[in-house]
Amino acid sequence: MSETLFTKIINREIPADIIYEDDLALAFNDINPQAPTHFLVIPKKPIATINDIQQADREVVGHLHWVAAQLAEQQGFAEQGYRTVMNCNEYGGQTVFHIHLHVLAGKPMGWPPYQERLKTPV
């Protein structure tokens, strides 16, 4: 797998606003926030998409949600609520091919989370 910019963030080759790190995961604020709080929780292991998760990765993938919940508690928005999202491939809107959990908070989230595409006239 070719190296993505998230591996470069893990290796401190490019800067990021890192808010959490442990042996398995890193969290940093999104460069283009879609909510008052928007950070990403990523595994240190580079896994390209949800489709590439192996059985042996179950612990690390579950860990991403645990980290999200810890940070939600620390940052004080756990009770109010928040949205976690992991996009997969083109229709999921994935642009960086190193899985990452989006954590969005600080405003009510809409549902459904997509805007209908323009319909082709018949």
> Looking at beta carbons only, is 75 or 94 nearer to ligand 5GP?
94
> Looking at beta carbons only, is 60 or 101 nearer to ligand 5GP?
101
Pairs from 42-47 (Cβ < 8 Å, separation ≥ 24): 42/6, 42/10, 42/98, 42/99, 42/100, 42/101, 43/99, 44/10, 46/1, 46/3, 46/4, 46/6, 46/7, 46/98, 47/98, 47/99
**Shortest distance, CB of residue 122 to ligand 5GP, whole angstroms?**
31
| 26 touching ligand 5GP, by CB under 6 A | no
Of the residues 1, 52, 89, 96, which one makes contact with ligand 5GP according to CB under 6 A:
96
Pick the stretch among 18-26, 29-37, 70-78, 111-119 that binds ligand 5GP (CB under 6 A): 29-37
What number of other Cβ atoms are within 10 A of residue 72's Cβ? Answer: 19
Q: Give SS3 for 37.
A: strand
| 19 touching ligand 5GP, by CB under 6 A | no
**Shortest distance, CB of residue 17 to ligand 5GP, whole angstroms?**
7
